[in-house]
Amino acid sequence: MTYKIFLTRLGNGLLVLLGVAIMNFTLVHMAPGDPAMIFAGEAGGGDETYVEQLRQDMGLDKPLVTQFAIYAGDLLRGDLGYSFRNQRDVASMIVERIPATLLLTMTAFGIALIIGIVFGMLGGWFRNTLLDRGLMIVTLVLYATPLFWLAMMFVLLFSVRLGWFPPFGMQSVLVPDAPLDRLLDIGRHLVLPAFSLGLFYAATYARLVRASVINVSNADFVKTARAKGVPGGRILRVHVLRNAILPVFSLASVHIGQLVGGAVLTETVFAWPGIGRLMFDAILQRDYPVILGVFLTTGLLVILVNIVTDLLYRIVDPRIEHTAGN
């Protein structure tokens, strides 16, 4: 049953990926810039024969449809293409950046979940108290703060003024040898980027969790539990929490894509060696194969996350809880 659903979802996902490939391929090739000419210009200039030679080398002299056919054929063989600019295989360029981006986005996501759930539970449980109001104002402001601005302020405060955390990069220049020190070193570098990326989502989740806590507390099964004399803390943990987190799950799958998008900014400000920056550099250089490769990879990531959250959703389905409560 679940297995069959999983397969359908996977099939759908692959279809969507094909769409992503076509859409982005069309988009980037509609661009007015000629990559060969740009490449020549940066190399110090060249005459027309030089540019024409480059165009052939880059495979840009063929009709667009042929170019796509070649590209699609390569994709089917698992080949994301070749970056002429970087003289490297696109797949390997992306693969080496994935761990950094996963580390950053997953940490940010974790921070967002923890802060969001804690704030939301507190706000929802103690609703309309001073604590609730305070939390609401904090989340309202966080939700309205541009990510890049928050990042700038973090660096100014925690790195330049206080010197607590390094301002950029993922590792120190002299990477410590001991594995534990190495991990700590990366951890210290991770703090500022992860928080500046995660706080926006923390605010989102806090509001969501608060609303659903209020919603769930009014639900019959909670009222029943209360009437039965179950202690408040237990109700909060057992009944409310599980149900209140569900909407976060469904939103989270949408947010994975957004997080990767936000990583473009965070990774640029913090010199984090991830996919977001690879992408931004590629855009500035009109490195089409890399741009397309990043879109496909992140698309695949989003689809996989969607499937996983879907399965998780089934595991913690509210109806199961509901019947159990009754």
Partner 1 sequence: MFSKETLTVTRRTALLGATALLTLPRIGLAQAAPVDGGRLILIARPEPATLGLGLNLQAPTIYVGGKIFESLLTYSSDLAPMPSLATSWSISEDGLTYRFELRQNATWHDGTPFTSADVVFTADDMMRSSHPRWKLLAETYVERIEADGDFAVVFTLKEPFSAFIYAFELSSLPIMAKHVYEGTDYRTNPANNAPIGTGPFKFVSWNRGQSIELERYEDYWDETPAHLDQVTFLVIPDAASRETAFEQQIVDVLRPGDVEGFVARRLSEADDVIMTTMGEEFYAPHAFIQMNLRKPPFNNLKIRQAVMHAVDREFISNNIWFGMASPATGPVSSRTAFYEPDVTPYPFDIEKARGLVADSGLSGDDLKVTLTPLPYGQQWDRTAEYIAQQLTQAGLDVSIRGVDVSGWAQALSTWEFDLALNYTYQYAHPALGVARHYLSSNIIQGTPAANNEGYSDPEVDRLFAEAANSVDTEETQRLYSEAQKRLVDDVALGWIFEMRSPTIYRDTTNEVVTSAIGVMDTMKATWKAA
Partner 2 sequence: MKNILKNTSLAIGLALLALILVIAVFAHVFYPVSPWQSAATPLLEPFSQSGLPLGSDMLGRDVAAGIAYGARVSLTVGVVSTIISVTLGVTIGAVAGFYGGVLDNLLMRFTELFQTVPQFAMAVVFVAIFSPSLVTIVLAISLVSWPPVARLVRGEVMSLKSREFVKAGIVLGESESGLIFRHILPNAVSPIVVMASLMVATAILTESALSFLGLGDRNMISWGYMIGASRTMLRDAWWLSVFPGLAIVVTVVAVNLIGEGFEKALNPQAHGERKA
Helix, strand, coil percentages for the chain (3-state, nearest 5): 80, 0, 20
Q: What is the CA radius of gyration of the chain?
A: 24
Residue 144 interacts, among partner 2, partner 1, none and using kind-specific CB cut-offs from 5 to 8 Å, with: partner 2
Smallest distance, Å, CB 211 to partner 2? 9
| Per-position x/- string for 145-184, each x denoting binding to partner 2 as judged by CB under 8 A, each - no binding | xxxxx--xx--x---x------------------------
Q: Please say which residue, 5 or 184, places its beta carbon nearer to partner 2.
A: 5
Q: Which amino acid is at 155?
A: V
Query: Which residues neighbour 220 within 8 Å (Cβ) at sequence distance 6 or greater?
Result: none
User: CB under 5 to 8 A by kind: which of partner 2, partner 1, none does 48 bind?
Assistant: partner 1
Minimum distance of partner 2 from residue 28's CB (angstroms)? 7
Partner whose binding site includes residue 226, from partner 2, partner 1, none (CB under 5 to 8 Å by kind): none
295: contact with partner 2 by CB under 8 A: yes
**Residue 182 — left, alpha, or beta (φ > 0 → left; ψ -120 to 50 → alpha)?**
alpha
Quote the DSSP letter at residue 30.
Answer: T
111-130 residues in contact with partner 2 (CB under 8 A) are: 128
Q: How many residues bind partner 2 (CB under 8 A)?
A: 49
Instruction: Give the C-alpha separation, 38 to 55, whole Å.
Output: 11
C-alpha distances out from residue 79 to 14, 73, 137, 169, 223, Å: 16, 8, 49, 30, 57
According to the binding rule CB under 8 A, does residue 38 interact with partner 2? no
DSSP 66-117: HHHHHHHHHHHTT---EETTTTEEHHHHHHTTHHHHHHHHHHHHHHHHHHHH
The distance of closest approach from Cβ of residue 156 to partner 2 in the complex, given in angstroms and rounded to an integer, is: 6
- Based on the shown chain and the rule CB under 8 A, indicate whether residue 189 belongs to the binding site for partner 1: no
Stretch that binds partner 1, among 36-44, 202-210, 236-244, 316-324 (CB under 8 A): 36-44
- Here the contacts of 267-271 (C-beta below 8 Å, separation 24 or greater) are 267/100, 267/101, 267/104, 267/193, 269/148, 269/151, 269/152, 269/155, 269/193, 269/196, 270/151, 270/155, 270/167, 270/168, 270/169, 270/192, 270/193, 271/168, 271/169
Name which position in 8, 12, 92, 224 contacts partner 2 (CB under 8 A): 12
The number of angstroms, rounded, from the C-alpha of 62 to the middle of its chain's C-alpha atoms is 35
Binding partner at 10 among partner 1, partner 2, none, C-beta below 5 to 8 Å by kind? none
Phi, psi of 162 (to 5 degrees): -95, -25
| Contact status: 220 vs partner 1 (CB under 8 A) | no
Q: Which residues bind partner 2 (CB under 8 A)?
A: 12, 15-17, 19-20, 23-24, 27-28, 30-33, 128, 140-141, 143-149, 152-153, 156, 160, 254, 257-258, 260-262, 264-265, 268, 276, 279-280, 283-284, 291, 294-295, 298-299, 302-303
Q: Which residues bind partner 1 (CB under 8 A)?
A: 32-35, 37-38, 40-48, 50-51, 57, 84-88, 93, 96-97, 100, 152, 155, 159-160, 163, 167-171, 173, 268-271, 273-274, 277-278, 281, 283-286
